[in-house]
Chains A and B, each alone.
Chain A
Amino acid sequence: MVPVDYYIALSAILFVLGTLGVLTRRNPLIIFMSIELMLNAANLAFVAFSSVYQTFNGQIFVFFVIAVAAAEVAVGLALIVEIFKSRRNINIDELNSLKG
């Protein structure tokens, strides 16, 4: 028997680690991976509550989150590839102009 608080605490820790990655890393691909980590932390909280309340609603939300994450990754990685093609560089500090 595991208290549900432990799951929520783990979810909070993973979310904060994802935030730290977004704030500190300079590689846009790793920033993307940190965002995935944050989405996963939220999913863990959803499934934990779904298990406490004995309902499927939380699991269905997680299903939708997974689908949205897949769409986001497809578009985001296409953008990164396109930026690399036009500027030969994807360092996040160099990308400070909107007009390519």
Chain B
Amino acid sequence: MNSDLIVFLVLSLVAISSALGMLFSRNAVYSALFLVLNFITVAVFYLLLGAPFIAMSQITVYAGAIMVLFLFVIMLLGAENLAPGNSLPWQKPLAGLLSTILAVEAIYILFSRARSDAVITAPDASLNTMESLREMAMTLFSDYLLPFEVTSILLLVAMVGAIILTRREKGGQS
């Protein structure tokens, strides 16, 4: 057992248990904080996989911006604990059964049919330089220029949509 594998196993334990914590905590604020922990763990995985730029975007955009927005909305609406509604009685067992089937199927197909012999070694220091970032930027702005521009338009549309949705109409109902 080498050191990379130990780091991977410990981190995946943290990732899975924080995802379970997000699922099963009663209070939505705790769920959000567990999800932040999960995102940071995934960012460390990205560092192990040799993608430092994606790791930093993950921390700033996901763990920073998106989760702060979530916490704002949870506290604004007071939605920490919702009163249980009249939910279907067989819903939770059925959901658990179907999810277990999905997990077993995915793992079975992965390890029986789609098995690959590739291994990932932790990146050495040469990858974490400006050179790899420059290379990625060149790919982004040459091969992927059109998707990049479409994404910027998408962000603009989402921003306008969010503003229009939450705008209070003059003289109308609040």
Decide if A78 touches B165 in the complex (CB within 8 Å).
yes
Give the number of residues in A that approach B within 8 Å (Cβ atoms): 71
With beta carbons under 8 angstroms apart, the residue of A15, A37, A56, A92 that contacts B136 is: A56
CA distance A12 to B158 in the complex (A): 29
Given contacts A36-B66, A60-B136, contact A1 B121 (CB under 8 A): yes
A18 CB, min distance to chain B CBs, angstroms? 8
Cross-chain contact of B54 among A2, A34, A59 (Cβ < 8 A): A59
B85 interface residue, CB < 8 Å from A? Answer: yes
Contacts A25-B23, A74-B158, A74-B162; A80 near B77 (Cβ below 8 A): yes
Q: A24-B92, A71-B154, A78-B161 are in contact. Are A66 and B45 (CB under 8 A)?
A: no
Query: Chain B CB within 10 Å — which of A29, A34, A44 has the most?
Result: A29
Write the nearest CB–CB distance from B36 to chain A, whole angstroms: 10
In the complex, are the beta carbons of B22 and A21 less than 8 A apart?
yes
Give the chain B neighbours of A21 by CB distance below 8 A.
22-23
| Contact A26 B54, beta carbon cutoff 8 Å | no
Whether the pair B139, A57 counts as a contact (CB closer than 8 A) is: yes
Which residues on B sit within 8 Å (CB–CB) of A47? Answer: 45-46, 49, 51, 54
CA gap between A75 and B22 in the complex, in Å: 22
Q: Which of B32, B95, B115, B117 makes the CB contact (< 8 A) with A33?
A: B32
Q: Say how far A60's CB is from chain B's closest CB, in angstroms.
A: 5
For the complex, what is the distance from the CA of A86 to the CA of B166, rounded to whole Å? 11
List residues of chain A with CB within 8 A of the CB of B83.
91
Q: Which residue of A lies closest to B106 (CB)?
A: A12
Cβ contact of A75, chosen from B28, B151, B162, B173, cutoff 8 A: B162
Question: Contact between A52 and B118 (Cβ–Cβ < 8 Å)?
Answer: yes
Residues in chain B near residue A66, CB distance under 8 A: 57-58, 61-62
Interface CB pairs A-B, < 8 A, 8: A24-B23, A27-B28, A29-B73, A40-B39, A48-B120, A60-B140, A63-B57, A78-B162
